Amino acid sequence: MAIPSLCENSWSRSSRFMPVLRSAFIALSRNSGLRSFSESSPIGQRLSSRFVAGLEIEDALRATETLNAQGIAATLDSLGENVENPDAARRSAEIYHQLLDAIRKRGLNANVSVKLTQMGLELNPDLASGITAELVGHAVQTDNFVRIDMEGSALTQATLDIVRGLHAGQSSTGPHAGHVGVVIQAYLYRSEKDICELIADGIRIRLCKGAYQEPAQVAFPSKADVDANFVRLMRILVRSGIYHGIATHDEAMIEATRQFVRERKIDPTSFEFQMLYGVRRDLQRALVDQGYRVRVYIPFGREWYPYFMRRLAERPANVLFLAKNFFKN
Q: Which of 213, 205, 209, 193 is nearest to 152 (CA)?
A: 213
CB 129 within 8 A of CB 165: yes
CA-only gyration radius of the chain, Å: 19
Of 204, 206, 293, 315, catalytic: 206
* One-letter amino acid for residue 232 of the chain: R
Query: Is 149 an active-site residue?
Result: yes
185 is in an annotated binding site: yes
Q: Which of 267, 272, 206, 244 is nearest to 73 (CA)?
A: 272
3-state helix, strand, coil in the chain (%, to 5): 50, 15, 35
311 is in an annotated binding site: yes
247 is in an annotated binding site: no
CB 201 within 8 A of CB 164: yes
248 is in an annotated binding site: yes
CB 275 within 8 A of CB 292: no
249 is in an annotated binding site: yes
Query: Is 126 an active-site residue?
Result: no
Question: Residue length, the chain?
Answer: 329
Q: Which of 74, 23, 34 is nearest to 221 (CA)?
A: 23
* Euclidean distance between CA atoms 251 and 264, whole angstroms: 20
CB 221 within 8 A of CB 249: no
The tally of CA atoms less than 13 A away on the side-chain side of residue 297 is 27
310 is in an annotated binding site: yes
324 is in an annotated binding site: no
Of 77, 149, 194, 227, catalytic: 149
Contacts of 180 (CB under 8 A, 6+ apart): 136, 139, 145, 146, 147, 148, 163, 166, 167, 170, 203
Q: Which of 221, 237, 131, 257 is nearest to 182 (CA)?
A: 237
CB 207 within 8 A of CB 184: yes
150 is in an annotated binding site: yes
* Euclidean distance between CA atoms 216 and 206, whole angstroms: 23
Residues at the binding site are 115, 150, 185, 209-211, 223, 248-249, 310-311
Residues assigned a catalytic role: 149, 206
Binding residues for FAD: 150, 185, 209-211, 223, 248-249
Binding site residue list for substrate: 115, 310-311
